[in-house]
Amino acid sequence: MTKLFGPSANRRSVLRGMGVVAGAVAMPNIARAQSPIIMKIATPTINDNQHEWMRKFASLVEEGTKGAIKAELYPASQLGTAPRMIEGTQLGTIQALVMPPEFLSGVDSRYEVLGAPGLFKDLAHAQRAMQHADFNNAFLSVGESKGLTGLGLFISAPMVVNCRTKLNTVADVAGKKVRVLGSAMQIEQMKRLKGTGIPMSLGEVLPALQQGTIDGILGSLPVITAFRYYDTAKYVLETGHATVTVFAATSKVWLDSLSKEHRTVVLDAGRKASEYIYQWTLDFNDAQRKVWLQNGGELQALSPSDKEELMKLMLPIGAEVAGRKPAEKQLFDLLMKSVAATA
C-alpha cells in the first residue's frame, strides 16, 4: 500500500504547507468580497438640484447598505454627452443618470410627456402631479424594457427663454435659433413661437452662444446661472409656459445584479431623495435668481395679456404631439388625470 505521508513530523510540515497555500488562495477572495460595489452616477449639470439629488441619493444608499455600495458622482457631463450617459446606463457601465426626461425621448417618446406646456398651475402643482402614485409608477417603469429602471421624478424650475439680445415679449423670439432638448414637445414650442429649435447637448451650448451659432436657449434659470450664461447671454424672458422636470434612473442590468436587500435600499433611496429635493429646489431657485441679477443678468416678465395669449398658443401642444403615438397618448392621458386630481 502506498503511503501518502512519511513520518509524523513530515506529515505535519506538509499539512502546514497546505494551510499556507489555502490561505493564500482564500485571502484575495475575502478581499474581493469586502470591496464595495461602485455606483457611478452621472448628470449633465453641476451645482444645481440634479447634483444635489445625487448627493442625497448617494448618502442614503451608502448608509442603507452600510458601505457595501459606494457612490461616485460625475456632474457636468464628465462621463460624456447625454446620449453617452443614457447608453452607458442601459449597458450598465454607468449605474445611474439624472437629467430632464426629454433627453430620453429617443429611447422612448413617452419620456417627453412632462415637457408638455401649460399643464401645471405652479411648481407645487407640478410636484404633486408627478408624485401621484398612478402616474409616478407608470412613468418610472417606461424604460424597463430598454434597460432603465426609474428612481425618481422631481421639479426643477419654470421654463425661460435665455437670449443674447433683449426679449421684451414672446414676439421677439420669432426668427431666433434657440437650443432645445431633442424632443418633439420642445421643438413644437419653438415652431409656435416662429423660432427654430436646435437640439444640442448642454456642453455645446455656451460655445455656440459665444460664437453666435445659436441666439438663445429654452431652459431654466438655475441651470443657466450655474453655467454663468450671464456673461454671454444676459437676457431672460420669464415665459413660465412649461415646467422643467428631472428624471433619475438606474441601470436595470446593474440593479438586477444586486441582492434583494440592496435593490430595496437603492429604490427606496430614489424615492426619499425625490421627496427631499423639493424644498431644496425652491430655496435654490430663489438664490439663483439673486445671483443672476447680481452678475448683470436681466429678467423680463410677461404682461398678463401676453401670458394669456402664450398659454392659449401652447396648451394644445401636449395632446397633439402625444396623440401621434398610442403608448405616448396613454401616458399623457394618465398625466392629465393626475394633473386634475392634484389641482
pLDDT score at 193: 95
pTM of the prediction?
0.88
Q: Are 52 and 59 in contact (CB under 8 A)?
A: no
Three-state DSSP class for residue 112:
helix
Q: Which band of pLDDT confidence, cut at 50, 70 and 90, is reported for residue 9? A: very low
Q: Which band of pLDDT confidence, cut at 50, 70 and 90, is reported for residue 33? A: low
Nearest to 161 by CA among 45, 316, 314, 339: 314
How far apart are the C-alpha atoms of 63 and 40, rounded to whole Å? 16
Q: Are 220 and 98 in contact (CB under 8 A)?
A: no
If one looks up domain 36-341 in CATH, what number appears? 3.40.190.170
Q: Which residue has the higher pLDDT, 166 or 202?
A: 166
28-32, 103-107, 276-280, 311-315: range with lowest mean pLDDT: 28-32
The yes-or-no verdict on residue 19 having pLDDT over 70 is no
Question: At a CB cut-off of 8 Å and minimum separation 6, what does 257 contact?
Answer: 92
- The C-alpha cell of 82 is what? 447625454
Q: Are 94 and 152 in contact (CB under 8 A)?
A: no
Q: Which residue has the higher pLDDT, 28 or 45?
A: 45
Q: What's the mean per-residue pLDDT of the chain?
A: 91
pLDDT score at 234: 97
How far apart are the C-alpha atoms of 98 and 246, rounded to whole Å? 7
Q: Which band of pLDDT confidence, cut at 50, 70 and 90, is reported for residue 34? A: confident
Q: Which band of pLDDT confidence, cut at 50, 70 and 90, is reported for residue 21? A: very low
- Percentage, residues of the chain above pLDDT 70: 90
pLDDT tens, position by position, 126-170: 999 999 999 999 999 999 999 999 999 999 999 999 999 999 999
